Every structure is written in C-alpha cells, then in structure tokens.
Structure 1
C-alpha cells in the first residue's frame, strides 16, 4: 500500500516583523598599583 501526501506552503498576508531590542553594556574596571599610577601620571602623554 502506497500513501502519498501533499504539503502546501503559503506566504503570510502581512510581513513578518522581528524586533531585536538588544542593549550591550560593557563596564571595565581596573586597578593600578602605586608605581604604575605614578608612572602614568608622569608619562601621561604616551597614552
């Protein structure tokens, strides 16, 4: 016995809308020891 089927695909009446509400928050925290901070303060122009 052989069974066959039919599949139909139809486009929707209205357009498909995809809302992507993405918020990217990046927070960078750094700590410097006393010598490194003093060096940066003295040589700040190189950064």
Structure 2
C-alpha cells in the first residue's frame, strides 16, 4: 500500500510557514535602549512650607482658662 501523495502547494505552504515562524518571533521581540541624558539632572529644593493649626475649644473649657489660667 502506497501513501497518497500530497499536493506540492500544501507542502510548500507548510515549509514556508515553518521557515518564517522563527523570523517573525525574532522580529517582534522588544528592544530596550538606555542612554544618559545630555543635560545634567537638577533638583530644586526651594520649597516653602507653611501651615496653620486651628484648635477649637469648648466654651466651658475656654471660660475655665480665662478665669484662673492654666497654672
């Protein structure tokens, strides 16, 4: 019993796919390039920090402090 012969076009298409698969995989790999900046990096630390603290005191406690003082 002989095996039936496959069409030549189908074999050629499979061979072409098998040969182009590694090329396609290599072409799609990402490349990362690192380069130093041309200008130096400067950090500006001239920062003004201003904050306010508000304290709310109950009216009774405020009267107590104004009466005799704390100490």
Q: If each structure's helix is expressed as a fraction of its own residues, which one has the higher value?
A: 2
TM-score after normalising by structure 1? 0.45
